Structure 1
Amino acid sequence: MMNSRDFHRSPSFTERLSGLSTAFKMFPFIQTGQRILQPFLEKFGFSVQEVTDSVKLFLTNGHPALTFPFLRPPNNILIGCANLLGSKSAPLQFSPQISQFLNESVGKDVVYVSFGPYVKMSGVSWYSQLVEILTELDLRVIVKVDKEFEKEFPKSVLPLNWAPQKDLLRSGKIKLFISHCGNNGKMETIYYNVPVLCIPQFADQPVNAELVKVKGFGESLMKEDISVRAKEVIAAMIANHGTYHRNMKRASDIVENEPGNARENLLYYVEQVAEMGNVDYLVNKVARQQSTVEMYNLDIVVPVVVIVIVVVGFILYVLLKFCVYFSRKVGMAGFRKLKNE
């Protein structure tokens, strides 16, 4: 566990102890990330460790205000929303078809549904079922479909083969975004303050969905539960729209207004690499020299577990002795009473 303000020395016992609870919370997320990357890298003959050892600078599409507070090394620079900063006031660009649909939807709740440009949703039964649930709730729906999608929709549904997602999300006309929760969509919906219902499919999407739920930006639902829970969850999210919106706005305001924002960080470090050829001064060399015992805090975990087991065992032993003593006392008192009678 490294202290990012003083990372050129080995962390002390107390520093690692203070970070242990965070490490336990984040362990499932860290392992998921490694599992996602490994099959892709193996195709090119690399391992996750080889890549992390050779790459000196990581530019990550994330921001502490928008995502769970991951423990990150000094050479992992967050540039999330760098491409979105200042875009809230830019002119909206909608096709006549979309503009007409939004104009006809004034006074009604509009839901935008998209599972990305590369996923083929034609023939996926739960996708059609999801849209049917939305129409049953009397919602206006803009839904992203592929060209092979042949289902006919009612007038309250606008099917699109391509949708200007960022413009829709920042228009202020979308009440709820239903998404697979890929990282780009997650960042956009939070930045533009549109509550999101995540229905993750693969890769990093289950982790993103969990983070959205933890931060209060939206909810998560598995596709297997759509028929059972979707109507209830969507209705509750529409009713509680303001709470999700406020949580998102607090986060996006931090991103928008913080000094040294994501765009400035991106430009600064790209210029550093161009000028200096590397950013070795950011690389945490001590972390790579830590033993397995230190890295996984085994010198803390093992003694603590042993102490807990001993204490619990002692308490159980005392309780057992007390129960035996009490039962004997009760038995002797009953025996004396019978003898006197």
Structure 2
Amino acid sequence: FSFAQTLAFMHMAVGQEKSDGDRAVGGMLVYPTDGSHWMSLRDLSLAVSRRGHRVVVALPATGNLMVGETPGLDSETFPVPLVDKHNLLDTFLREVVFRETDGVTEFTFKSLESMNKRFAAMCDSLLGNVAVMQRLRAHNFEVLLADPIDPCGAILSDALGLPSIFLMRGIPCNIDLKAAHCPAPSSYVPQSMSGFTDHMSFTERVTNMFMGLKQDHLCIDFLLKRFDELARRHLGRDVTAMELLSNASIWLHRTDFVFDYPRPTMPNMVNVGGLTSDDARPLPQDLEEFMQSSEEHGVVVVSFGSIVSAIPYRIANVLAEGLGRIPQKVIWRYEGPTLENLSNNTKVMSWLPQRDLLAHAKTRVFVTHGGSHGIFEAICYGVPMLGLPLFGDQFENLARMQSKGAALVLNIHSLDAGSLASSISTIATHKSYKEKASLLSRLHHDHPQKPMDRAVFWVEFVMRHGAEHLRVAAHHLTWYQEAGFDVAAFLLAAIVLVTSVFIALITICCRWLCRAKHRNATVSKGMAASKKH
């Protein structure tokens, strides 16, 4: 365990909700990030609220795919440039998710640029709205919670004078590691979206190093540049977004080393992978009856996440045909036109209780796009997976699960009904997939605290104490001091100096010896000549 996790273990009582008389009353501001990122922020915010703290969400008025009014959370709404969320979703599905590319390049450059512009426009609207900012200051919050994939949270925390807590799964270019001054040796820490494992060949290590250099340029000169300008304009001083991100009190990483490759962490980094995965509930009666009707064959759960419930008709028909060929029953989250290949064994729903279904004893296989929430839920309940990645980090998420023996991965664009059916049958009938998934589940659960309890503890810890004592001294060093280049330069200069002095002394000695030898030879010749005479 890290220091942060050990200290959290010593305060395990945080998992028990306080009585009304004992509840702490504080305040937390949440700057939300749209899409699936909001799910983790929302659930942690609700958990903090249940502890008796006032939680307020800075809510954009329009243009949200998922962020909205949440029962149990207060909100401060601010106007933003008008965005049609239906057009936004259609563009996202057409140009990013279901466009046939390698997934990585398209996500890194095109979709990140679009997302970056949208984040910056919303940020500018909030920071420039004097009335809203005054209302936020009047709340006297104690801490700000945000996902650092949108750097606006870091700017807002500085503008309000609040300590920041960042809850995240991953950021392009490993910005979080750079901001926290966390070592990330390229020899065994693969760059985000590189597709490499932690066991790289020499060629892969070379590529990984150059990818890191390229991503540094991408992030500093491309992704963060807009936010550097916003920070300088709204904070009134020369500061960068990276500097503001580095002020984070605590980094809550949705990471678990049964899912992710082991790597170094820092004292103010806390792993809370799977914080939304626990506490499954009993299924509604109709779903329970459907599950039980599957008898010994069991059920396959199919879901492509919270946003991607509507998929191209051609791909949906291939999926429907393949699912119709397996003996298991199927529950599929799907929104779209009626499918001509849909079979009687398949139940289609516009929404499904994914976590509760994965926790059910009759579930045999989870067909997933590879989002981190779904994978953590599958790990939590020991369900093997068939992966059909669509974009972003889903490719490497599923590659990790496949390398651990708990998943198979197919290309959704070249998918045919036969390969889908045979892959599901392989996972369902070969015991090794279930055994590997069950092992990951046992490792995930064998901790002194649940991930959500650990996350709530650290939010309250920062409210009480801050976390300055967990920040390494590297934050106060220049880049060349942190890398040890100044010491290396001194040692190199010392070696050069000592070597130069040594060579000079040797040269002087050699010259002296040569001159002495020459003088001796001259004297000897003179003496010999005298004897002849």
What are the superposed Cα offsets for residues 201-252 of structure 1, whole Å, 9 maximum, x if unpaired?
1122112112211222212222123127434432322222x32222222222
Taking only the aligned residue pairs, the percentage that are identical comes to 21
Q: 1:37 to 1:154 in 2, by over 3 A?
A: farther
Number of aligned residue pairs: give it: 276
Q: Which residue of 1 aligns with 2:460?
A: 271
SS of the residue 1:59 aligns to: strand
Q: 1:121 to 1:84 in 2, by over 3 A?
A: closer
Q: What is the TM-score with the length of structure 2 in the denominator?
A: 0.46
Asked if the contact 1:113/1:179 (under 8 Å) is kept, the reply is yes
Q: 1:133 to 1:62 in 2, by over 3 A?
A: same
Q: Which residue of 1 aligns with 2:256?
A: 63
Q: 1:234 aligns with which of 424, 434, 439?
A: 424
What are the superposed Cα offsets for residues 269-326 of structure 1, whole Å, 9 maximum, x if unpaired?
11211101x2122223327644399499xx9xxxxxxxxxxxxxxxxxxxxxxxxxxx
Q: 1:184 aligns with which of 370, 373, 384?
A: 373
The answer to whether the aligner puts 1:285 opposite 2:451 as a matched pair is no
Asked if the contact 1:38/1:48 (under 8 Å) is kept, the reply is no
Pairwise CA distance, 1:184: 0.6
Q: 2:363 aligns with which of 174, 179, 189?
A: 174
Pairwise CA distance, 1:20: 5.8
Q: Which residue of 1 aligns with 2:507?
A: none
Q: 1:282 to 1:145 in 2, by over 3 A?
A: same
Asked if the contact 1:26/1:70 (under 8 Å) is kept, the reply is no
Pairwise CA distance, 1:122: 4.4
Q: 2:283 aligns with which of 90, 93, 114?
A: 93
The separation in 2 between residues aligned to 1:101 and 1:283, in whole angstroms, is 52
Root mean square deviation of aligned Cα = 3.6
Greater Cα shift, 222-231 or 157-166:
222-231
The separation in 2 between residues aligned to 1:204 and 1:36, in whole angstroms, is 17
Q: 1:198 aligns with which of 384, 387, 392?
A: 387
The separation in 2 between residues aligned to 1:67 and 1:24, in whole angstroms, is 11
Asked if the contact 1:57/1:76 (under 8 Å) is kept, the reply is yes
1:1-341 correspondence to structure 2 within 5 Å: 21-23=187-189, 28=194, 49-50=242-243, 52-85=245-278, 87=279, 91-96=281-286, 98-146=287-335, 148-152=336-340, 153-227=342-416, 229-240=419-430, 242-276=431-465, 278-286=466-474, 289-291=478-480, 294=483
Pairwise CA distance, 1:171: 0.7
Asked if the contact 1:189/1:196 (under 8 Å) is kept, the reply is yes
SS of the residue 1:22 aligns to: coil
The separation in 2 between residues aligned to 1:163 and 1:225, in whole angstroms, is 27
Asked if the contact 2:258/2:444 (under 8 Å) is kept, the reply is yes
The separation in 2 between residues aligned to 1:49 and 1:105, in whole angstroms, is 53
Pairwise CA distance, 1:263: 3.5
The separation in 2 between residues aligned to 1:168 and 1:124, in whole angstroms, is 25
Q: 1:267 to 1:117 in 2, by over 3 A?
A: closer
1:22 partner amino acid? Y
The separation in 2 between residues aligned to 1:99 and 1:214, in whole angstroms, is 33
Q: 1:269 to 1:69 in 2, by over 3 A?
A: same
Asked if the contact 2:379/2:444 (under 8 Å) is kept, the reply is no
The separation in 2 between residues aligned to 1:237 and 1:123, in whole angstroms, is 26
The separation in 1 between residues aligned to 2:435 and 2:484, in whole angstroms, is 38
Instruction: Mark the runs of 5 or more structure 1 residues left unpaired by the alignment.
Output: 6-15, 300-341
SS of the residue 1:141 aligns to: strand
SS of the residue 2:343 aligns to: coil
Q: 1:122 to 1:229 in 2, by over 3 A?
A: closer
Q: What is the TM-score with the length of structure 1 in the denominator?
A: 0.68
The separation in 2 between residues aligned to 1:164 and 1:293, in whole angstroms, is 48
The separation in 2 between residues aligned to 1:122 and 1:41, in whole angstroms, is 32
